Amino acid sequence: MMGASIMHPLIHKADELLDRAREDADAEAVRQHLQDAERLYRVVLEEMPGLPDALSGLGHVLWDRSDSVEDPEARLALIEEAIQTLTQAAEKHSFETTSILSIAEVLLHTASIEPDEGRSVGLVHEATRWLTRADHFTDDVAVLRNQARAFEMLSERAEDAKESAEYVMMAEERFAAAIRRRPRDPHLLHLWGCVLLDRAAREEDQDRIDGLRIEATEKFAEAVRIEPDFEPTWTWWGRALFERAEEEPDPARADRLLRDAGEHCARALRSGGDAYGTNKNLALIHGRRAGLTENDELSHNHVRLAEGYYASALAARPHEPDVHRAWGETLFDHGVHASNPEHARASLERAIDHYATVGRLEPDDADAPFWEGEATAELAHIRSDAALSLLERAMTLYDRSNDLRPGDPDTLNRWGQAYLSRAHLCPEVQEDMLVSAVEFFVNALELDPDHGQTHYNLGCVAAMREDVETALVHLACWRAVEVWETRDRVDEDPKFDRIRDDSRLQALLAAGPTAITEPTD
């Protein structure tokens, strides 16, 4: 048997490889470092079973390896092995604080990705029990930080508002205690800001949301004043600004917030930030800015920048469906709103490709065929030479989405809308197409009587049949539900041409949104 004096250098070498894996930006290099470290730790444990340092190191390797595992079940199995290994290490180390913290952090991480809500809550409670054990003999800031994180996670999963508020208060107390012990710790301030931002996402009261976001940005600002190159804070600060921009009604102010968000994320990227997350954030920012400007060329330039950042995000994490999904959304929005027909066509065609990729990567995702159908139907409006075949393709995609998510009013409405578009394009079969469209629209309203877009589409059907009274009823319901809609949509929609000059239609549109809750037959 090899002696302990030979074993320690192997552990030292494995620890170095683990450190390198956590510092290296190249995914393949990280994989190799972790593989080599795991091999060395296991060699040590074969010769000296139960050696605490080897068990601890192996547990951390398994945890780090789980980040690159795409299959959820395999990932959770690897994390479970990491927890068991770290627990053995803690037992050998007489449950000293570092070992307990390792277990608690893995448990909290596992809880954050565990799809089963009950098991997730159980993992968080298990983490708090470990942290309570550490709290008996230490006031370590890391213990307080993880306790705050655990209580915040429990507040997210609480069964009622009172229980949630109690956990929030406990989390705040732990953060405050940690800051008192270490007032200039940028990592603590950063985490507190992240928690506040996540809390804002769960809030319903807009004033409370705004207050939490402002408080979060103050924590981020304080953190980067202490450590200017702390890239995670720049990323999260950018996210906070992006979320504020999403709800800002003034386009000019929204664009300024997005510009600042982009500068923060770019700063994070220059500081060695997460290549995947930061590039994706920058792509989302430019995609949103593309939708805010009325200058088609400037909008197109923002889309091109967004595509470059999406490509960089995919280079860091290939085959990531979320990137293709967001990329498709950016291109879809640009395709719908671009005034340049070539820009619109090219954007929609590329959006279709990305939504199709999401469908291949996640075959059970009902949204993938739905949005591929949306982009295909929009492309039909531009490509008159292939409109009918594109609408047929859109119907097939809505059918697939409906199979994956039966009874969705949005899908039924858009499916019916494809028939409505075919009715407009093919006068010779118009009534047959309208009958099919109405069937889908009626089914959608049975599921959601206040589905505004379905009321609008039924108004279109009635207009094409020259049934003014029915058209007025559904348009009134549409305006009552979707009060932001303007009369421009009706004015520009050729399906209303047959009743456009009717004084009753003009009076309804001039009057603005009208509250009608019970449409007449």
Residue 359 lies in a domain: no
Tell me the CATH number at 232.
1.25.40.10
Under 8 Å between Cβ of 370 and 402:
no
User: Which two three-digit tokens encode residue 511?
Assistant: 């009057």
- Helix residue spans in 136-205 (DSSP H): 141-156, 161-181, 186-202
Three-class SS state of 159 = coil
pLDDT value of position 370? 95
pLDDT value of position 2? 39
Give the residue with greater pLDDT, 336 vs 97. Answer: 336
Q: How many angstroms separate the CA atoms of 17 and 10, rounded?
A: 11
Three-class SS state of 229 = coil
Distance of CA 175 to the CA centre of its chain: 27
Pick from 31-40, 85-94, 238-247: least confident: 85-94
Residue 202 lies in a domain: yes
Q: What is the mean pLDDT of residues 411-432?
A: 92
pLDDT value of position 515? 40
In this prediction, residue 5 has a pLDDT band, given cuts at 50, 70 and 90, of very low
User: Which two three-digit tokens encode residue 286?
Assistant: 């430019």
Pick from 180-194, 410-424, 464-478: least confident: 180-194
Residue 209 lies in a domain: yes
Residue 153's contacts (CB-CB under 8 Å, 6 or more residues apart) are: 108, 111, 112, 124
Residue 73 identity: E
Strand residues in 160-287 grouped as ranges (E): none
pLDDT value of position 6? 44
Residue 149 lies in a domain: no
Q: How many angstroms separate the CA atoms of 298 and 340, rounded?
A: 12
Residue 42 identity: R
pLDDT at 516 over 60: no
Instruction: Report residue 318: phi and psi, to 5°.
Output: -60, 150
User: Which two three-digit tokens encode residue 270?
Assistant: 């220059």
Residue after which a domain boundary falls, among 227, 245, 271: 271
**Residues 179-237 pLDDT 10s:** 888 888 898 899 889 888 888 888 888 899 989 999 999 999 999 999 998 888 999 99
pLDDT at 136 over 50: yes
pLDDT value of position 80? 86
pLDDT-above-90 percentage for the chain: 51
**Residues 34-69 pLDDT 10s:** 999 999 999 999 988 888 888 888 988 998 888 888
Residue 397 lies in a domain: no
pLDDT at 116 over 60: yes
DSSP 494-511: GGGGGGTT-HHHHHHHHH
Cα three-residue angle 6-12-18, rounded to 5 degrees: 140
Question: Cα-Cα-Cα-Cα dihedral of 135, 141, 146, 152, to 10°?
Answer: 100
User: Which two three-digit tokens encode residue 506?
Assistant: 């003009």
Instruction: Report residue 102: phi and psi, to 5°.
Output: -60, -45
In this prediction, residue 4 has a pLDDT band, given cuts at 50, 70 and 90, of very low
Residue after which a domain boundary falls, among 271, 299, 328: 271
Under 8 Å between Cβ of 297 and 344:
no
pLDDT value of position 95? 60
Q: Mutual orientation of helices 97-113 and 141-156 as an angle, nearest 10°?
A: 20
Cβ burial of 362 (10 Å; 0-12, 13-18, 19+) is: middle
pLDDT at 445 over 80: yes
DSSP 313-369: HHHHSTT-HHHHHHHHHHHHHHHHH-SSHHHHHHHHHHHHHHHHHHHHH-TT-THHH
Q: How many angstroms separate the CA atoms of 150 and 146, rounded?
A: 6
Question: Cα-Cα-Cα-Cα dihedral of 443, 445, 451, 454, to 10°?
Answer: 60
Under 8 Å between Cβ of 236 and 193:
yes
Per the structure, the complete domain to which residue 190 belongs is given by 184-271
**Residues 359-400 pLDDT 10s:** 999 999 999 999 999 999 999 999 989 999 999 999 999 999
pLDDT value of position 93? 65
pLDDT value of position 263? 96
Under 8 Å between Cβ of 156 and 202:
yes
pLDDT value of position 323? 96
Q: How many angstroms separate the CA atoms of 504 and 142, rounded?
A: 69
Under 8 Å between Cβ of 520 and 473:
yes
User: Which two three-digit tokens encode residue 378?
Assistant: 């929009």
Under 8 Å between Cβ of 495 and 462:
no
Pick from 90-94, 303-307, 447-451: least confident: 90-94
DSSP 449: T
Residue with tokens 């990323």: 235
Residue 318's contacts (CB-CB under 8 Å, 6 or more residues apart) are: none
Our count of domains for the chain comes to 2
Q: What is the mean pLDDT of residues 234-263?
A: 93
pLDDT at 8 over 80: no
Cβ burial of 425 (10 Å; 0-12, 13-18, 19+) is: middle
pLDDT at 311 over 90: yes
Identify the CA nearest to 355 among candidates 330, 372, 343.
Answer: 372
Q: How many angstroms separate the CA atoms of 347 and 330, rounded?
A: 9
Identify the CA nearest to 324 among candidates 372, 286, 268.
Answer: 372
**Residues 265-277 pLDDT 10s:** 999 988 776 788 8
Mean pLDDT of the chain: 88
Pick from 71-75, 259-263, 319-323: least confident: 71-75
Residue 324 lies in a domain: no
- 480-496 core/surface letters (b: 16 or more CB in 10 A; e: else): bbbeebebeebeeeebb
Residue 83 lies in a domain: no
Residue after which a domain boundary falls, among 255, 271, 287: 271
DSSP 130-146: HHHHHHTS---HHHHHH
Residue 242 lies in a domain: yes
Distance of CA 322 to the CA centre of its chain: 7
pLDDT value of position 513? 58
Under 8 Å between Cβ of 472 and 480:
no
pLDDT value of position 325? 97
pLDDT value of position 520? 41
